Structure 1
Amino acid sequence: MSEKSIWKYRLPFLILIVVALASLIPVEYANTIDPKHPIDHADTAWILIASALVLLMTPGLAFFYGGMVRYKNLVSTLLQSFFALGLVSVLWVVVGFSLAFGDSFHGLIGNPFTFAFFRNVGIAPNPAFAATIPFALFAMFQLKFAIITPALFTGGVAERVRFSSLMLFVCLFSILIYAPLAHWTWHPDGFLRKWGVLDFAGGTVVHISAGFAALSGAIFLGRRKGKIMHNQPTNIPYIMLGTGLLWFGWFGFNAGSALAADGLATSAFVNTNLASATAMLTWILADGALGHKRSAVGAAVGAVVGLVAITPAAGFVTVGQSIFIGFIASMVSYVAVKLKSKTNIDDTLDVFPCHGIGGIVGMILTGVFAKGVGLIYGDSTVFVHHLLALVIVSIFTFGGSYLLYLITDKILPMRVTEEQEEKGLDLTQHGEEATDMRSY
Structure 2
Amino acid sequence: MSVWQPGAVLDLKIHTLNHTGDGVARWQGRVVFVPDAVPGDRLRVRLQHVKPQYANGVLLEVLERSPQRVRPACIVADKCGGCQWQCIDYHAQLAAKEQLVKEAIARIGHLQPQAFLPILAAPSPLGYRNKVTYPLARRHGQVVAGYYQKGSHRIVNLNQCPVQDPRLNPLLATLKADLQPWPIYDESTGSPGVRHLGLRIGQRTGEQLITLVLAGDIPPHLEGQAQRWYDQFAAVVGVCVNINSQRGNRIFGSQTRVLAGQLYLREVLAGIEFHVGATTFFQVNTAQAEQLIQTLEAWLALSGTEHLLDLYCGIGTLSLPLARSAARVTGVECHPDSVTQAIATARHNGLTNTEFICAVAEEWLPHWCNTVDVLLLDPPRKGCDRAVLDAILGQRPPRIVYVSCHPATLARDLGYLCQAGAYQLAKVQPLDMFPQTAHVETIALLTAT
Per the normalisation by structure 1, the TM-score is 0.26
Q: Which has the larger radius of gyration?
A: 2
Higher relative contact order (CA 8 A, sep 6+): 1
**More strand per residue: 1 or 2?**
2
